[in-house]
Amino acid sequence: MEHIIRFSKVTKRFGDLVVLEELDFEVMAKERLVLIGSSGSGKSTILRILMTLEKPDSGFIEVEGESLWHMEKKGRIVPATEKHLRKMRKKIGMVFQHFHLFPHMTVLRNVTEAQIYVLGMSKEEARERALALLDMVGLSEKADQYPAQLSGGQKQRVAIARALAQRPQILLFDEVTSALDPELVGEVLKVLKDLAQEHEHTMLIVTHEMGFAREIADRICFLDKGRIIEKGPPSRIFTEPEMERTREFLRNYIEVSNAINGV
Amino acid sequence: MLFLPQLLEGAVVTIEVTACASVLAIIMGFAAGLARLSRWWIVRAVTVVYVEVFRGSSALVQLFWLFFVLPFFGINLTAFEAAVLALGLNVGAYGSEVVRGAILAVPKGQYEAARSLNFSHSRMMRRIIIPQAVVAMLPPWGNLLIELLKNTALVSLITLSDLAFKAYQLNQATFRSTEIFSMVLVIYFIIALGMTGIIRLLERWFGRGILYRGAA
Amino acid sequence: MIVKWDFAWNILPVLLKAAITTLEATALGYAMALSLGLVLAIVRRSRVRAISWTAGGIIEFVRSTPFLIQLYFLYFILPNYGLTLPAFVTGILGLGIHYSAYTSEVYRAGIEGIPQGQWEAARSLNFTKLQIYRRIIIPQAIPPIVPALGNYLVGMIKDTPILSAIAVVEIMQRAKIIGSETFRYLEPITMVGIFFLLVSLVFSAFIRKVERGVSMDRRIEKAMEIKG
């Protein structure tokens, strides 16, 4: 299979803190890749760099064979212009931990706005498509409400519909259930599972829900201190991890979730 | 640069008006700010009328009123007196809101503590409440006094020979407008910077101790 | 009685006519202050240091120097560069520029109050920078700053009498003309004071109404009403 995303020696620092260190990794087309690791391990930064919200300090990233943060100009490699970034962003969509719905727009407009003004679709087309997507996430009857009137789970489902509306090939999910009350996590995960089943997006998922990760992932990457220290199919990572650090992380996770569930 | 000596003469008058009017504004601001919190409704009512009238009608109108209208009541003010009175009363009205707001923002516990120590009302205000409120008041007072400085330019319209007046005069005499008015703007800007600097110093002086808030 | 009521009554129509000029100057000056202020606020947020510092410097300078001198500056200097404008237009320009320095700071506070996530979400949907400002940021930034912007409208109207210094015949100038012709300043200037007092009170009340109308809570209330 062909890879759709490739990181080579990507480094990202925030001040003195090294968040990603010479990271190399690839994602195959249509793959469902789940990134796990403790907080601060750099998982979210990978997504944010791909979405062009964060600029890497060094290294090279390719998306669909084209450089993301660089471009060629007169035979030389130069930093990407905003125009180039906009072209590359077309391929990618993102769902955030804290939803970031536009509070001054109705649910419907949250989903139509970028279709109209970014994709240049007519209002009618955009509306129809938005309603279909809202139906898919089970929220068509909320179309005329404002985000403030929705529960966290509903907001996140709208955010998913909003991202899908732009027809990205690559979808990034950044801890999309971490800000939700426990009883609302399920409805969002179900939407993601349906999406994975019925569509062919390449999905990069950062999550702390290990059960979900195991179910949805084609491959798991375990990150620690800005490096991928172990990767492989979930069946192996969850049952016989090779690295001590991975074992420790999973053990911790099981203990914590047992404590929460009162086992 | 030819005009600088004359302009600086005007600047001295500007600074004098600013200084005198600022003192009056601060006195009026505190008097009216405290009077708004008075127990007697008549005191509060009179204060509200003062504040609303001086905030609501324009500063220039007030200046003209004191200078051109008061003589009809047999009161003749010099241009300087009218200038100080108008600007002081005008900015004082705005300042009263600052004073009132800052006093109301002092936590209730401070009043209760003062009362539990059996302070008299006036002593409680003077020793406990106002010193704390002053810290919060300083930045807005700083802005108001800069506004006052800027409004002193209006006194040139009642013939007081301040910086603005000198500029106008020189312009009429020489028509070297660009030079004159650019210089004047810069002089005002420098005076404003100076005032901002003084206010910063005061903020630091009054702020010591109180910045370490915590549970006092 | 010192006040001559019949005299006051006689000059009322003339003053009110001049008051229209006052209101016109305010309306146009305010429109300019609102638009120029927004531009300045956005320019000030530029990532290019030189641009944002220049904008910041201009704003600070305009805020710290008297409106009257700025007005003289425009009135006496523009003709030197071949731009001879009617006093009324110069007055509007002056009001607009002076107050845009204030409104730009208000806009800036409003824009900075919008969470970073809104920018990121908008960027992830591939809006252009201009679209992000226009469709996402500004519509959210404005409602909370309506009261502050409104205060500057009231402030501006009280500065319009200063236009009399460059011979714009607004209400103050008209009152002075009446005064110098009749040697009675008591009635005209007092009436001008009362005019500004009334207008300030009315405008303040109006702004409080607008403030309520544009709030997000109000919009949600409306959405709920429609739902029944």
Give residues with Cβ within 8 angstroms of C209, minimum separation 6: none
| CA geometry: angle B174, B176, B178, nearest 5 deg | 155
Contact C158 B57 (CB under 8 A): yes
Alpha-carbon distance A204 to nearest alpha carbon in chain C (angstroms): 15
pLDDT tens, position by position, A115-135:
999 999 999 999 999 999 999
In-domain check, residue A30 = yes
Beta bridge partners of A222: A36, A230
Chain C residues in contact with A145 by the CB 8 A cut-off are 223, 227
pLDDT tens, position by position, C149-164:
999 999 999 999 999 9
Give the residue-averaged pLDDT of C191-218. 88
- Interface subset of C 202-221, CB within 8 angstroms of A: 216, 219-220
Q: For residue B212, which phi and psi values (nearest 5 degrees)?
A: -85, 70
More confident residue, A136 or C214: A136
* DSSP state for residue A208 in the 8-state scheme: S
Alpha-carbon distance B90 to nearest alpha carbon in chain C (angstroms): 12
Helix, strand and coil in chain B, % to nearest 5: 85, 0, 15
A53 touches chain C (CB under 8 A): yes
CATH number, position A41: 3.40.50.300
Query: How far apart are alpha carbons B88 and B63 in whole angstroms?
Result: 10
Instruction: Give residue C228's pLDDT.
Output: 46
- Same domain flag for A86 and A193: yes
Please name the member of C126, C136, C224 whose beta carbon is closest to the beta carbon of A90: C126
Chain B residues in contact with C67 by the CB 8 A cut-off are 150, 153
Q: Is B164 exposed, middle or buried (0-12, 13-18, 19+ CB in 10 A)?
A: buried
Instruction: Give residue B214's pLDDT.
Output: 45
Instruction: Give residue B215's pLDDT.
Output: 44
Contact A89 C126 (CB under 8 A): yes
Contact B152 C196 (CB under 8 A): no
Contact A118 C220 (CB under 8 A): no
In-domain check, residue A153 = yes
Give residues with Cβ within 8 angstroms of B124, minimum separation 6: B111, B114, B115
CA distance readout (Å), C144 to A105, A147, B168, C42: 16, 18, 41, 17
Residue C218 has pLDDT above 80, yes or no: no
Q: How many domains does chain B have?
A: 1
In-domain check, residue B55 = yes
Contact C224 A149 (CB under 8 A): yes
- Same domain flag for A13 and A65: yes
- Same domain flag for A75 and A112: no
Please name the member of C120, C136, C224 whose beta carbon is closest to the beta carbon of A96: C120
Alpha-carbon distance A54 to nearest alpha carbon in chain C (angstroms): 10
The secondary structure element, H or E, covering residue A229 is strand A227-232
Question: Tokens 């011979």 map to which residue?
Answer: C167
Give the residue-averaged pLDDT of B129-149. 91
Residue of B nearest to C189 (CA): B65
Q: How many CB atoms lie within 10 A of CB C105?
A: 20
Chains with 3 or more CB pairs under 8 A to chain A = C
**Count of helices and strands (H, E) across chain C:** 10, 0
Beta bridge partners of A171: A93, A203
- Same domain flag for A104 and A144: yes
**Contact criterion met (CB below 8 Å) for C203 and C153:** yes
Contact B185 C65 (CB under 8 A): yes
Nearest in space to C41 (alpha carbons), one of C108, C94, C93, C112: C108
Chains with 3 or more CB pairs under 8 A to chain C = A, B
- Interface subset of A 232-251, CB within 8 angstroms of C: none
Q: Is A131 exposed, middle or buried (0-12, 13-18, 19+ CB in 10 A)?
A: middle
Query: How far apart are alpha carbons B113 and B121 in whole angstroms?
Result: 12
- Same domain flag for A78 and A11: yes
Query: How far apart are alpha carbons A68 and A62 in whole angstroms?
Result: 6
Please name the member of B73, B150, B168 whose beta carbon is closest to the beta carbon of C65: B150
**Contact criterion met (CB below 8 Å) for A23 and A226:** yes
Nearest in space to A209 (alpha carbons), one of A224, A225, A190, A194: A190
Asked if C touches B (at least 3 Cβ pairs < 8 angstroms), the answer reads yes
Question: Tokens 């200097």 map to which residue?
Answer: C77
- Same domain flag for A146 and A119: yes
Instruction: Give residue C227's pLDDT.
Output: 54
Alpha-carbon distance C51 to nearest alpha carbon in chain B (angstroms): 21
pLDDT tens, position by position, A31-73:
999 999 988 888 999 999 999 999 999 999 999 999 999 998 8
Contact B171 C190 (CB under 8 A): no
- Same domain flag for A83 and A5: yes
Q: Is C82 exposed, middle or buried (0-12, 13-18, 19+ CB in 10 A)?
A: exposed
Residue B143's domain spans which residues? 15-161
Contact C193 B185 (CB under 8 A): no
Query: How far apart are alpha carbons C114 and B49 in whole angstroms?
Result: 39
Chain C residues in contact with A149 by the CB 8 A cut-off are 220, 223-224
Chain A residues in contact with C226 by the CB 8 A cut-off are 144
- Same domain flag for A8 and A62: yes
Q: Is C220 exposed, middle or buried (0-12, 13-18, 19+ CB in 10 A)?
A: middle
Token pair for A63: 């998306």
Among the ranges given (A238-252, B90-104, C135-149), the one the predictor scored with the smallest mean pLDDT = A238-252
Instruction: Give residue A164's pLDDT.
Output: 96
In-domain check, residue B86 = yes
Query: How far apart are alpha carbons A119 and C53 in whole angstroms?
Result: 35
Instruction: Give residue B211's pLDDT.
Output: 54
A92 touches chain C (CB under 8 A): yes
Q: How many CB atoms lie within 10 A of CB B146?
A: 19
Please name the member of C120, C131, C226 whose beta carbon is closest to the beta carbon of A53: C120
CA distance readout (Å), C125 to A70, A92, A164, C119, C136: 20, 9, 10, 10, 11
pLDDT tens, position by position, C45-75:
999 999 999 999 999 999 999 999 999 999 9
Contact A144 C223 (CB under 8 A): yes
Residue A237 has pLDDT above 70, yes or no: yes
Give the residue-averaged pLDDT of C126-147. 94
Contact C117 A166 (CB under 8 A): no
Give the residue-averaged pLDDT of A150-177. 96
Instruction: Give residue B210's pLDDT.
Output: 59
Contact B56 C185 (CB under 8 A): no
Query: How far apart are alpha carbons B56 and B213 in whole angstroms?
Result: 37
Beta bridge partners of A5: A27, A63
**Contact criterion met (CB below 8 Å) for B6 and B182:** no
A145 touches chain C (CB under 8 A): yes
CATH node for C5-227: 1.10.3720.10
pLDDT band at A263 (very low <50, low <70, confident <90, very high): low
The secondary structure element, H or E, covering residue C195 is helix C186-214
**Contact criterion met (CB below 8 Å) for A42 and A223:** yes
Please name the member of A94, A117, A146 whose beta carbon is closest to the beta carbon of C124: A94
Q: How many domains does chain A have?
A: 2
Contact A145 C227 (CB under 8 A): yes
Give residues with Cβ within 8 angstroms of A171, minimum separation 6: A92, A93, A94, A95, A163, A164, A195, A201, A202, A203, A204
CA distance readout (Å), C91 to A248, B31, C30: 73, 36, 12
| CA geometry: angle B88, B91, B95, nearest 5 deg | 120
**Contact criterion met (CB below 8 Å) for B152 and B17:** yes
- Same domain flag for A65 and A102: no
Instruction: Give residue C226's pLDDT.
Output: 59
pLDDT tens, position by position, C84-122:
999 999 999 999 999 999 999 999 999 999 999 999 999
In-domain check, residue B195 = no
In-domain check, residue A144 = yes
Residue A216 has pLDDT above 90, yes or no: yes
- Same domain flag for A86 and A108: no
Contact B72 C2 (CB under 8 A): yes
- Same domain flag for A74 and A196: yes
Contact A96 C117 (CB under 8 A): yes
Query: How far apart are alpha carbons C227 and C221 in whole angstroms?
Result: 10
Instruction: Give residue C220's pLDDT.
Output: 72
A256 touches chain C (CB under 8 A): no
- Same domain flag for A22 and A87: yes
CATH number, position B84: 1.10.3720.10
Instruction: Give residue B1's pLDDT.
Output: 67
Contact C223 A89 (CB under 8 A): no
**Contact criterion met (CB below 8 Å) for A210 and A234:** no
In-domain check, residue B168 = no
Residue A41's domain spans which residues? 1-91+171-177+188-234
Residue of C nearest to A113 (CA): C135
Residue B216 has pLDDT above 50, yes or no: no
